[in-house]
Amino acid sequence: MDKGFREYLDKFVEFTNQYNKEIYYANQGRDDIQAPVEPETGRFLAFLIKMTGARKVLELGCGVANSAIWMAQTLKEQGGVLYTVDNHPRTWKEAVENVEKSGLKEYVTMIHSDADEAVRKLREQGLEFDIVFQDCAKYIYTVIYEDVAALVKKGGIIVADDTMFPVCENVRPNLGRHMDRYNMQIFADKRFFSTMLPVGHGLTLSWKI
């Protein structure tokens, strides 16, 4: 992103949890983790949760819990909870610590698991979510497509991150292809009304009608 854009955004898009701000900047430039979402994406997730009055949100791909804290902070304020899933053997410990240090532990159910297994189990438990935020391995968006579609309530929203990978510079073509397949599938799916926003590496928003 253009430096001027970044500086201007940072002037307004303030973090809602101070510890999250520390995590975000402390983890910048690390090459052993996948990038946390940018503040404008985190704040957009918070905005959606507030606007829809969401009470139950599922995140697939917790990383070191940056986006999880954005969402949990907002959910706390309106009596909601976040379920977050990640299968990483090493960064999971960091995610757990970060959620604890953010003061939001009681609002977050942390599931250390592969996303495909987690969504299957959540369905077996009969759970439904107001919002599902997809930010795990790109190939898996289409693999778990039907489970995610079933887990989101009627009137709920799926927010999928990195969906403009097909046209982003410095992104491996196979990742772009996975995202293209996902976009093709969800934009053609009559159960949803979808749109795409060029925030971060792209967000596809799908409202379950």
Question: Of the two residues 62 and 122, which places its CB atom closer to ligand SAM in the complex?
Answer: 62
List the structure tokens of 175: 């990742």
Question: Of the two residues 79 and 105, which places its CB atom closer to ligand SAM in the complex?
Answer: 105
Minimum distance from residue 64 beta carbon to ligand SAM (Å): 6
Q: What is the contact surface with ligand SAM in residues (CB under 6 A)?
A: 34-37, 61-64, 66-67, 85-88, 91, 114-115, 135-137, 140
List the structure tokens of 33: 């983790």
Minimum distance from residue 190 beta carbon to ligand SAM (Å): 27
Question: Of the two residues 141 and 192, which places its CB atom closer to ligand SAM in the complex?
Answer: 141
Residue 51: name the closest of 155, 153, 199, 175 by CA: 155
Minimum distance from residue 209 beta carbon to ligand SAM (Å): 26
**12-17 long-range contacts, CB within 8 A, separation 24+:** 13/39, 13/40, 13/43, 14/39, 14/43, 15/39, 15/42, 15/70, 16/43, 16/46, 16/70, 16/73, 16/74, 17/69, 17/70, 17/73, 17/102, 17/103, 17/104
Q: DSSP assignment, residue 165?
A: G
Residue facing ligand SAM at closest CB distance: 63
Minimum distance from residue 4 beta carbon to ligand SAM (Å): 24
